[in-house]
Amino acid sequence: MQVAVGLTFPGKLKDESVICQLCKKFQIELIIIEASFSVSRGWAILEFRGDEEEIKKVFEYLKLKMINIQKIKRDDQPK
């Protein structure tokens, strides 16, 4: 399974390596398409590749961290 998502990070997570932890905690491949971070907030467009159940666990983890998740469709994804 592969899914592209937009994530919005609250400023309180600025000192946590959340994206790095995703690859360490879960059996997924992660591609950073675009991202921007500041002291008050951050956002990233990522693509997750892996088993559907493992990606569901990633979403649960992100929700626990209070990270907003929006699934997006990329123009360059195969139809």
What's the pLDDT tens digit per position in 9-57? Answer: 999 998 899 999 999 999 999 999 999 998 889 999 999 999 999 999 9
Cα end-to-end distance, the chain, whole Å: 13
Return the pLDDT at 78. 54
Name the pLDDT band for 73 (thresholds 50, 70, 90): confident
- 14, containing H or E segment: none
**What is the spatial distance between Cα 13 and Cα 17, in angstroms, rounded to a whole number?**
8
Domains of the chain: 2-72 (3.30.70.260)
Q: Are 43 and 8 in contact (CB under 8 A)?
A: yes
Return the pLDDT at 75. 57
pTM of the prediction?
0.86
Radius of gyration, alpha carbons of the chain: 12
**What is the spatial distance between Cα 34 and Cα 27, in angstroms, rounded to a whole number?**
22
